[in-house]
Structure 1
């Protein structure tokens, strides 16, 4: 049974919050510089991610990649790795702690320990106008994990479904690396939910999704701070207005385009160094 509130319950609730990770000293991306790089870049590749499937792609260091909605409202689950060291991968939890629950232009996707450095920077986002709606929903979250067959199995009573984003990403990275899917699965990690509109309910604190505001022609573009291997799943929930992990929702492909920046345009730019902590951990 719930306990009765203490006499000072209101006073305890009224304590002002403190930001856990003040970002005043966080290095800021030079978006004007990146815009100059982008103006000099040329397209080198494109990948169509079919509905309810995943595909991998590679982006050269100081290149760009753009994820575009091409046919109908569709969300995508994004994984990133250092193309030269797959142990260094996107860390959604620390990205969330540094930038907030939802990402947009100027925010960065950070890598895991012990590297903890920017992997990619969002340089353009056609949905940056959305902000937060009256329900507390925002676009491009780093709070959801990815739909997966394990949770689906747990909640559905045993029904098998193999086109959850976790499985789509697993097949995509397995195909790219040549690994068995059971080995490749361990490389899949929590995602950036591109185009997905999500938040937390105010009464119960539950993670919610609602119809994505994305429309054909909308895109999000990223600058590759390091050489990247990416994988994107076109979520089986479509725009995630009602369900995910099923064949019921209307689903559409997503387009990934890759652009390379010529070396002569870079000047003295260099990739961010790995984190400077000495890893001694007080031992």
Structure 2
């Protein structure tokens, strides 16, 4: 006997795969087939060192799976986003607190700072402002500017699934606290997402290498509304097929933070910026005091599913499970193997339709 840990969304997906495959009679057949074809994973990179917190926190919040939160961040303050359990991707959206029309522009950030902005880089806003609005000053997080947020479209088109956690709807609900509408949503900066070129040179999402305590620190260069959310994707490497909490802290900046922010700003605008202009019709952001969070597709309902497996198959599992990522959490390691196999299987069906 072996245990597979799934939430109800993942269980629904696997049953969809079983229904489409004439060779699979039930979930147990799927798990055993996935195990038989599993091979040992490649070694993961060593965990980076974690810098201890030294600032005074003015606000702290644990973002639970399937949720997000809007934070007001005055210029000079620091947003620190930290892994609690590890492996969790986070989407970050940013708006000017004094004019919602100005917001993070991931395309401009990618063009100015590269595919994977890190310490010493800045985040850029959209036209016609086009200026640095936050500076990354530290941390151990990987980042990505290439992949769009997951949405209802993605799960419907690729998996035939509906009504499940996704970044688009999580973000829409989190930003609603400040009167922002669904059409105010812009492309997110992907935090703790590990991407690399695939065999054909196109970017692919690799296993999430974030460990507990890994973090990213950003200084606000103007007054902003930062809206991070826990990525709702539990069917990919993005968060290693799980949904986990993260901690967000808004902290008072210290002099060293200001120096690092100025260095990042000066590095990004070596020859200066166009003259600043004012644009009439500003939309300042204010919190709705009557707001009550109502995130869709919750609660998630996890369950351990016992699977019959003979001793040879269990021995094989212990040979191929990813110890680097999951340690002694065999249920999570099995979930990775099974969902990876099932997604590849579903893709093969789609190619034959």
TM-score normalized with structure 1 length: 0.68
* In the alignment, structure 1 residue 146 sits paired with structure 2 residue 149: yes
Contact 2:64 2:245 (C-alpha < 8 Å) held by counterparts: yes
Runs (4+) of structure 1 moved beyond 4 Å? 269-275
Deviation of 1:154 (Å) = 2.6
Select which of 50, 55, 58 maps to 1:44.
58
* In the alignment, structure 1 residue 83 sits paired with structure 2 residue 79: no
Q: Distance in 1 between matches of 2:168 and 2:245?
A: 17
Counterpart in 2 of 1:276? 275
The residue correspondences of 1:160-239 to structure 2 (distance < 5 A) are 160-174=162-176, 176-178=177-179, 184-203=181-200, 205-237=201-233
Distance 1:250 1:155, change over 3 A: closer
Q: What is the number of equivalent residue pairs in this alignment?
A: 217
Contact 1:141 1:193 (C-alpha < 8 Å) held by counterparts: yes
Structure 1 alignment gaps of length 5 or more = 1-37, 128-138
* In the alignment, structure 1 residue 250 sits paired with structure 2 residue 242: yes
Deviation of 1:260 (Å) = 2.6
Q: Distance in 2 between matches of 1:96 and 1:140?
A: 11
Contact 1:53 1:163 (C-alpha < 8 Å) held by counterparts: no
Residues 114-143 of structure 1, C-alpha deviation per residue, up to 9 Å, x if partnerless? 11111110000224xxxxxxxxxxx30011
| Structure number having the greater helix percentage | 2
Structure 2 alignment gaps of length 5 or more = 1-52, 267-271, 279-353
Contact 1:165 1:234 (C-alpha < 8 Å) held by counterparts: yes
Distance 1:156 1:124, change over 3 A: same
Deviation of 1:150 (Å) = 2.0
Q: Distance in 1 between matches of 2:235 and 2:216?
A: 16
Residues 9-43 of structure 1, C-alpha deviation per residue, up to 9 Å, x if partnerless? xxxxxxxxxxxxxxxxxxxxxxxxxxxxx97x521
RMSD: 3.1
Q: Distance in 1 between matches of 2:114 and 2:194?
A: 14
Residues 144-179 of structure 1, C-alpha deviation per residue, up to 9 Å, x if partnerless? 11111123223334x3134211111001001x1245
Counterpart in 2 of 1:59? 73
Q: Distance in 2 between matches of 1:230 and 1:92?
A: 14
TM-score normalized with structure 2 length: 0.55
Structure possessing the higher radius of gyration over alpha carbons = 2
